C-alpha cells in the first residue's frame, strides 16, 4: 500500500512547494517506543550538557536564517521579513532557555517550616515523552519553542507540525539533529488530526503540549482527562486594545496597525478589538486609517508589508465576518476587499468601526487582516467591554500615565497585558505565556513554562539520626500535652 503524502502549497501563489510523507497511525507505535527508550540517556545528561546542545541548535538556526525565513514565508504566505521575525524570536527564546534553563530546573530549596531538623527541596523531573502538536500560523516559533523547553527539561519529543506547514517542521527537525539533538530524542511525524489524536491517545506519551484552536484543544483536554495526562493548551484569542484619552495616539495607532495586520492578522495575540475613549476617537481613527492605507499587500514577499491568508477557507471566514458586521451596521473605514485577483488568498487590510458588541467579528476569533474599533465612554467602560469575552489570551492598554496603565492591566482578564505596547510580550522569553478562559490552560516560556514540562517532586530529608519522631507510635500523654502547649505558643 502506498503511503499518502501531504502537499505544501504557497497560499500567496497557490503553487506547490514540496511534499512530505504522512506518518500512518499504525506506524506510530515504534516511533513512540524509540522516544521512550531515549528518555533514559537524554534525561541523564547534565543540565549544562543539554543547554550546550541547545546553544548549538541556536547557532545552526542562525546559520540557516535566510533559508528558514524563505521557507516559512513560502509555506504560510507571509512576507520574508515576517519569516525572519520568526527565526529571530525563536533564537531569542533558545538563547534564554539555554542560559536560564539550568538555573530554573535545578533542585530548589524550600523552607521546612517549624521542622528545623528536616531539609526540604523540590526536584524538577521530566515527564518522559512529550507529544507536541503545533499550528500553521507561526510554524517555526510555535514548534521550536515548546520543543526546546521540553528537551531542556529532559524530555524526549514526538512532534506533529500542522498539515499546512509540514516542510518547516521537517527542516527544523533536520537542523536540530545536525546540531546534536539525538534522532530519537526529537522525532517529527506528519499528518492531519488523526495523527495528532494518536499522539494524545498513546500510552507512551506522558504529557501533551498543544497549540491551536479552541475546538481541537477541547477535544484534546477531554482525551487527556480520560488518561489523567498532564497537558498545556495554548489556544485562540480575541485580544482587546484599550486606548485612553491620555494616550500617545501616534504610538497607539501604530500599535493597532502592527498588532492587527502583521502576519496578515493571523496571530493568536492580534489586536482584534480596539476600545478607544470617545474624546480621542476621531483623531485615533484618522491615524489608523492613514497608516493602514500606506500598507503594501500582495505576493511580492520582499517588498510587501502584508502577505496572504493561509487558505481559501481562512479567507472565507474573514470575509464572512466582515460582511456580517457590515450588514449589522458596522462601517468600513478602510479596505474590506477580497484581493484574490492578485493570485493568492489576499484581503485588503480592513478597518471597521463597530457599534454592536454581539456580532461574530467582536465575539469570535476572526484571524485575519481586520481590526474593529469601538468608541467607549471612559476607562471603566473599556475594561467592561474588554472583559466581555470568553477568550483571555493577551491585551494592551495605551495611556501616558504608566501607573494607571498598570492598574488597569490588573483588571483585565488576560494571560498577558502590555502597557503602551502590543504583542512584544511574546518575544520576551522570560515572561510566561498562556491564556485564561477558553484561551488555554497552563503556561509556556519563562520559569513557569519550563517547569510545565516537568513533574514537581517534593523531597524531605531527615537531617539527624534520631531514633523516632515524637508523633510516631507510641505517643505519650506528655507528648500530646506538649504539642498542644507549643501550638498555643506558636499559632495562638
Ligand atoms: P487547529 O486546532 O486546527 O490545528 C492545530 C494542530 O492540531 C494541527 O497540527 C492539527 O493537525 C492538529 N489536530 C487537529 N485535530 C486534532 C485532534 N483531534 N487531535 C490532535 N491534534 C489535532 O489550529 P490551526 O488552524 O492550525 O491554528 C490556528 C489556531 O491556533 C487559532 O485559533 C490560533 O489562535 C491558535 N493559536 C494559538 C496560539 C497560542 O499560543 N495561544 C498560538 C498560535 C495559534
| DSSP class per residue in 267-306 | -TT-EEEEEEEHHHHHHHHHHHHHHHHT--BSS-TTT-SB
Which one from 268, 372, 418, 454 is the annotated catalytic residue? Answer: 268
Is 222 touching ligand 1 by the criterion CB < 6 Å? no
Distance 315 CA to ligand 1 centre (A): 17
Is 190 touching ligand 1 by the criterion CB < 6 Å? no
Assign residue 180 a region (left: φ > 0; alpha: ψ between -120 and 50; beta: otherwise): left
Told to judge if 234 belongs to the known catalytic residues of this protein, a careful annotator would answer yes
Distance 233 CA to ligand 1 centre (A): 10
Predicted TM-score of the model (pTM): 0.97
Q: Which of 452, 416, 381 is nearest to 231 (CA)?
A: 452
In this structure, the residue with its CA closest to atom 26 of ligand 1 is 135
Q: Which of 187, 186, 177 is nearest to 60 (CA)?
A: 177
Cell numbers standing for residue 155: 524530555
Is 192 touching ligand 1 by the criterion CB < 6 Å? yes
Which one from 149, 163, 234, 353 is the annotated catalytic residue? Answer: 234
In this structure, the residue with its CA closest to atom 37 of ligand 1 is 235
Is 212 touching ligand 1 by the criterion CB < 6 Å? yes
Q: pLDDT of the chain along its 492 residues, tens only?
A: 677 999 999 999 999 999 999 999 999 999 999 999 999 999 999 999 999 999 999 999 999 999 999 999 999 999 999 999 999 999 999 999 999 999 999 999 999 999 999 999 999 999 999 999 999 999 999 999 999 999 999 999 999 999 999 999 999 999 999 999 999 999 999 999 999 999 999 999 999 999 999 999 999 999 999 999 999 999 999 999 999 999 999 999 999 999 999 999 999 999 999 999 999 999 999 999 999 999 999 999 999 999 999 999 999 999 999 999 999 999 999 999 999 999 999 999 999 999 999 999 999 999 999 999 999 999 999 999 999 999 999 999 999 999 999 999 999 999 999 999 999 999 999 999 999 999 999 999 999 999 999 999 999 999 998 899 999 999 999 999 999 999 999 999
Told to judge if 75 belongs to the known catalytic residues of this protein, a careful annotator would answer no
pLDDT for 2: 77
Our mutation pick for probing the ligand 1 site, out of 139, 188, 210, 213, counting the most ligand atoms within 8 A of Cβ, is: 213
Is 220 touching ligand 1 by the criterion CB < 6 Å? yes
Torsion of the alpha carbons at 357, 360, 365 and 369, rounded to the nearest 10: -90
* 434 close to 444: Cβ distance less than 8 angstroms: yes
pLDDT for 3: 78
Q: Cell 467602560: give the residue.
A: 381
Is 200 touching ligand 1 by the criterion CB < 6 Å? yes
Our mutation pick for probing the ligand 1 site, out of 167, 216, 390, counting the most ligand atoms within 8 A of Cβ, is: 216
pLDDT for 1: 64
Contacts of 290 (CB under 8 A, 6+ apart): none
Is 95 touching ligand 1 by the criterion CB < 6 Å? no
Is 272 touching ligand 1 by the criterion CB < 6 Å? no
Mapped onto helix, strand or coil, the DSSP state of residue 119 is strand
Amino acid at each position: 500500500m502506498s503511503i499518502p503524502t501531504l502537499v505544501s502549497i504557497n497560499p500567496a501563489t497557490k503553487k506547490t512547494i514540496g511534499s512530505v510523507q504522512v506518518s500512518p497511525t499504525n506506524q506510530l507505535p515504534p516511533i513512540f517506543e524509540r522516544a521512550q527508550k531515549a528518555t533514559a540517556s537524554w534525561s541523564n545528561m547534565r543540565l549544562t550538557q543539554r543547554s550546550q546542545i541547545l546553544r548549538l541548535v541556536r547557532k545552526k538556526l542562525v546559520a540557516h536564517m535566510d533559508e528558514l525565513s524563505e521557507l516559512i514565508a513560502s509555506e504560510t504566505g507571509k512576507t520574508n521579513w515576517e519569516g525572519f521575525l520568526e527565526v529571530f524570536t525563536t533564537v531569542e527564546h533558545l538563547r534564554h532557555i539555554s542560559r536560564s534553563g539550568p538555573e530554573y530546573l535545578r533542585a530548589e530549596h524550600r523552607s521546612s517550616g517549624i521542622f528545623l531538623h528536616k531539609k526540604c527541596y523540590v526536584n524538577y523531573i521530566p515527564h518522559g515523552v512529550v507529544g507536541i502538536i503545533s499550528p500553521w500560523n507561526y510554524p517555526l516559533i510555535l514548534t521550536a519553542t515548546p520543543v526546546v523547553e521540553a528537551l531542556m527539561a529532559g524530555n524526549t519529543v514526538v512532534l506533529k507540525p500542522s498539515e499546512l506547514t509540514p516542510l518547516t517542521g521537517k527542516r527544523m527537525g533536520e537542523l536540530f539533529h545536525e546540531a546534536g539533538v539525538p534522532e530519537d530524542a526529537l522525532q517529527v511525524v506528519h499528518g492531519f488530526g488523526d495523527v495528532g489524536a494518536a499522539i494524545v491517545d498513546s500510552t507512551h506519551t506522558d504529557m501533551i503540549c498543544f497549540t491551536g484552536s479552541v475546538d481541537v484543544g477541547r477535544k484534546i483536554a477531554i482525551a487527556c482527562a480520560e488518561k489523567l495526562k498532564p497537558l498545556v493548551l495554548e489556544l485562540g484569542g480575541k485580544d482587546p486594545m484599550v486606548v485612553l484619552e491620555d494616550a500617545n495616539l501616534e504610538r497607539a495607532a501604530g500599535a493597532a496597525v502592527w498588532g492587527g495586520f502583521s502576519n496578515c492578522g493571523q496571530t493568536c495575540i492580534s489586536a482584534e478589538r480596539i476600545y478607544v475613549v470617545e474624546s480621542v476617537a476621531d483623531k485615533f481613527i484618522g491615524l489608523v486609517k492613514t497608516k493602514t492605507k500606506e500598507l503594501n499587500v500582495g505576493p511580492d514577499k520582499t517588498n510587501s508589508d502584508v502577505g496572504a491568508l493561509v487558505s481559501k477557507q481562512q479567507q472565507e471566514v474573514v470575509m464572512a465576518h466582515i460582511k456580517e458586521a457590515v450588514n449589522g451596521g458596522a462601517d468600513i473605514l478602510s479596505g474590506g476587499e477580497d484581493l484574490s485577483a492578485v493570485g493568492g488568498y489576499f484581503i485588503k487590510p480592513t478597518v471597521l468601526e463597530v457599534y454592536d458588541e454581539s456580532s461574530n467579528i467582536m465575539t469570535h476569533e476572526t484571524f485575519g487582516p481586520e481590526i474593529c474599533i469601538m468608541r467607549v465612554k471612559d476607562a471603566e467602560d473599556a475594561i467592561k467591554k474588554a472583559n466581555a469575552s470568553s477568550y483571555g489570551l493577551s491585551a494592551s492598554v495605551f495611556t501616558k500615565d504608566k501607573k494607571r496603565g498598570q492598574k488597569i492591566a490588573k483588571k483585565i482578564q488576560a494571560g498577558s497585558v502590555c502597557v503602551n505596547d502590543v504583542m512584544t510580550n511574546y518575544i520576551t522569553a522570560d515572561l510566561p505565556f498562556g491564556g485564561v478562559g477558553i484561551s488555554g490552560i497552563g503556561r509556556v516560556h519563562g520559569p513557569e513554562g519550563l517547569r510545565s514540562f516537568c513533574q514537581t517532586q517534593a523531597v524531605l530529608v531527615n537531617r539527624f539520626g534520631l531514633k523516632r519522631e515524637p508523633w510516631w507510635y507510641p505517643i505519650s500523654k506528655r507528648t500530646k500535652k506538649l504539642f498542644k502547649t507549643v501550638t498555643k505558643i506558636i499559632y495562638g
